[in-house]
Amino acid sequence: MTVPSIIDRYVFREIVVSFLFCFAVFLVAGLIAGFLPLLQKGMEAGLELTLILFQVLINALPSTLVTVLPLSIMIGILLGLGRMAADSEIAAIKSSGISVVRLLPAVLALAAIGLAMSLICTLILIPKGIAEGRRLMQGALTTRVDAGIEERHFFDMLKNMILYVEKIDSSTGIMSHIFIRESSNPDEVNTIIAREAKAFPDPEGKAFVLNLRNGTIIKEDKHGDSTGTLSFDSYVFRYPLDRTVPGDAPRPLEEMTIAGIRERVRTVVVEKDDDTPEVRAYQRRVRTHAQILITQRFTYPLACLALALMAFPLGVLNLGRSRLNNVSVGLVVMFLYYAFTLATERAARSGLAPPELALPIPAVVFMGASAYFIRCVRLERIPGLIRYGQHLILRLRRQEV
């Protein structure tokens, strides 16, 4: 086993310090952005629901890590190596006869750590977090169902019922302009339109209760024909919660392991000769969605390696006295990478290319471009694309002056 040299340890320490700083900033920003809306909703509903929503956020943490890790790794490498380049430390290393590629092992070590952490998140922690978050939210339904109701959003967390509210007074909890469509009875559909409503907790926690005022109930049979209309001044709508969480409800693919996803596809996608075009289209969508989910669990972690390799040549290049010049170029590269990723995902969902081939393309292309940039750096040449970008920026600055 090769013992890391002084250079390896020095470079690794330099980029890890920058990485940890960026990681902490991005992680806190992501948690705050996700937690503030939940905190507001929880505080309106009570302390108990606030704690539940906080647990839901903690279970969603692995998803945030997968997004934050590649960004932190790339910017950490750019800041660390950019600092060394701006202080002429890299020039001193090259003048002593050591190739700049000798700095690459420390970068690869950090990329490998990020890749391993991302794989653990995508393969194990994220599916478990989604499953646990769904379980907590289902438990919250029995406590405060109305906490999930939002203005101008269709609320469909209760089985066989759709609720729409135009406006909610946060101080009184009074809802205005309510639409309810309830179809728990397969032979009858009830549509309720009311001017005002207010949710009340059920003492036994077994029902969702709304006190409706000034409205109309429209009854229809299973064929959609009206069977009666009733106007009311006050009406208590009570919906049993035991209808909301059926024991045989299928689990979403997002919270299943890869083996579970493949097994679900084998049971759902059973092609028959007499299948209608609609059935075949549905089966095709299920298969494509499953393939995308499985492939993404490997391609998302590859961003750590692809962006780390791209950050290495960009970091050792002296693009100016300020290390922020390297970071600015890196931000443009990250934008291009994730734009490329979204384009390939769109192509896979549209059926233009198999997900197994389309989704890894951004990582493969960027790693190939990184190899070319590393070669240019080793030969002490600025890559043509970066040189063209520098000339373009200088020209724009001259035009502004």
- Angle among Cα 156, 161, 164 to the nearest 5 degrees reads 60
- 236 closest CA partner among 220, 203, 212: 212
Element (H, E) at 11: helix 6-45
The yes-or-no verdict on residue 360 having pLDDT over 50 is yes
Categorize the per-residue pLDDT at 291 as very low, low, confident or very high, splitting at 50, 70 and 90: very high
Q: What are the angstrom distances between the C-alpha of 164 and each of 106, 180, 372?
A: 55, 7, 56
Given this model, what pLDDT does residue 269 score?
A: 73
The backbone torsions φ and ψ at residue 235, rounded to the nearest 5 degrees and listed phi first, read -150, 130
Weakest mean pLDDT among 110-119, 235-244, 359-368? 235-244
pLDDT at 346 over 90: yes
pLDDT at 324: 62
Question: Does 393 have pLDDT greater than 80?
Answer: no
Q: Report pLDDT for 47.
A: 45
Which pLDDT score, from 0 to 100, does residue 75 have? 92
SS3 (DSSP) at 272 = coil
User: CB-based contacts of 134: which residues, under 8 Å, 6+ apart?
Assistant: 252, 255
List, as one string, the DSSP characters of 110-144. HHHHHHHHHHHIIIIIHHHHHHHHHHHHHHHHTT-
For residue 157, is pLDDT > 60? yes
Residue 218 predicted with pLDDT over 80 = yes
Is the model's pLDDT at 4 over the cut of 60?
A: no
How high does pLDDT run on average in the chain?
A: 81
pLDDT in tens, 79-127: 888 888 777 788 888 888 888 888 899 999 999 999 999 999 999 988 8
Predicted pLDDT at 249:
52
Q: Is 113 exposed, middle or buried (0-12, 13-18, 19+ CB in 10 A)?
A: middle
Residue with structure tokens 């007499």? 274
The token duo for 116 is 């391993």
Tell me whether residue 269 is exposed, middle or buried, using C-beta atoms within 10 angstroms of its C-beta: 0 to 12, 13 to 18, 19 or more: middle
Structure tokens at 185: 């009875």
| Per-residue pLDDT reduced to its tens digit, 137-147 | 666 555 555 66
pLDDT at 144: 59
- At 369, list the tokens: 């471009």
What integer is the mean pLDDT of 54-82?
85
pLDDT score for 328: 79
Residue 71's pLDDT is 93
Top mean-pLDDT range of 22-26, 207-211, 223-227, 372-376: 22-26
Minimum mean pLDDT range among 185-199, 215-229, 267-281: 267-281
Sign of CA dihedral 239, 245, 247, 248: positive
Assess contact for 308 and 107: CB atoms under 8 A.
yes
Strands 175-182 and 188-200: antiparallel
| Residues 191, 217 contacting (CB under 8 angstroms) | yes
**Model pTM score:** 0.72
